[in-house]
Chains A and B, each alone.
Chain A
């Protein structure tokens, strides 16, 4: 999930706050009221939100890269236009989210610097490579599917600007998962080579997709506070289970096999039992040891550095024009 807390296992530090203000704040949040930028808020709330929203934004921006890898190789004009529009949407979503975080008193440049210096995290899923066209299908279907599951409830998150960004994002993303599933469907019913491609993509993306929901609940110490503050609406394990229950029949419907020998329908629970996620891999990827983590960071750094002279030139031009206008008055 884009919004999973990847800050580590440490519990958030307590800051001494005015008890009366804190109580009033907690009461407002509990009453489903929205908190707006200029409202009083506890420092821990502000910090947690900045971290979560910027992490979400970074994920959108880094997430442009694995799919962007196939825009120039999309197999026909329709797919090319759809994929380009989708990746562009992700850039837009990053933009909305950065803007939401900026209302909390952090600049976009500061957030960008945190990303490029490796200080800020982003979703682990984007540190896996896109090897074939089927990966574009798998990402749309599974990765966007997982993201939607977390983002829909966040439309009612307690922080107004974040909630409004999520409303816009959810509206725009509604086609993303469908286009991914459509790609997979087409491949799964295509030639033997295409079918192989589709199954291979599912094999590689299934477990990283389950990791997107973040560490198991007993290893996620800030969940309780985040849920009280309505910046998280369900626990990691609840969402993971929901995702498995929804995705398995979708795979079966197009004749693909989920790569989990332990996967089994549990009649009593009314849910699928599934195998253990490799959490060691997850924590390594969080630390920056994903297969293409270096490539992703290098691409972002290059774009930022190569663009520096452009951003500078526009700024200088604006200053020149403003000065000339002033002189003419």
Chain B
């Protein structure tokens, strides 16, 4: 009855909540083609006026980092505090900086 290979592919859904915001991952849908994926995303994830724009992309197309590499990827940023504005002391009276 259900050959898993024959299931409609999975698509990841990204919705822009309102103008000026970036698209945010909200979930996934199954769909046979891109247009259907958009329609399913619209009918599933924007029923309460949650969005003004939708992206869909096949889940299989996502390349994700491996959690095992997390230290190598993200820990080196930990000691680069000078990238954050709070690292710098500015006298209280000085403004617009």
Interface residues of A (CB under 8 A from B): 36, 38-40, 88-89, 92, 95-96, 99, 102, 107-110, 112-113, 116, 165, 168, 172, 304, 308, 311-312, 314-315, 317-318, 321
Contact = CB atoms under 8 A, between A and B. Distances in A.
28 contacts: A38-B64, A92-B47, A95-B27, A95-B29, A95-B44, A99-B29, A107-B4, A107-B7, A108-B7, A109-B2, A109-B3, A109-B4, A110-B4, A112-B2, A113-B1, A113-B2, A116-B1, A165-B27, A168-B27, A172-B48, A308-B1, A312-B6, A314-B8, A314-B32, A315-B6, A315-B32, A317-B33, A321-B33
A108 B44 CA distance: 16
Contacts of A308: 1
Interface residues of B, number: 22
B54 interface: no
B32 to A, nearest CB: 4
Interface of B: 1-4, 6-8, 10, 26-30, 32-33, 36, 44, 47-48, 64, 66-67
Given A38-B64, A102-B28, A109-B7, A92 B44 contact: yes
Which 4 pairs of residues, A with B, have the shortest CB-CB distance? A314-B32, A109-B2, A318-B33, A318-B32
Contacts, number: 56
Contacts of B30: 108
Nearest to B7: A109
B36 A314 contact: yes
A36 B68 CA distance: 12
A28 B3 CA distance: 37
Given A96-B27, A172-B48, A317 B2 contact: no
Contacts of B67: 36, 38-40
A317 B1 contact: no
A173 to B, nearest CB: 12
B66 to A, nearest CB: 7
A91 to B, nearest CB: 9
Contacts of B8: 311, 314-315
Contacts of B64: 38
Contacts of A96: 27
A314 B33 contact: yes
Contacts of A89: 47
Nearest to A319: B32
Contacts of A40: 67
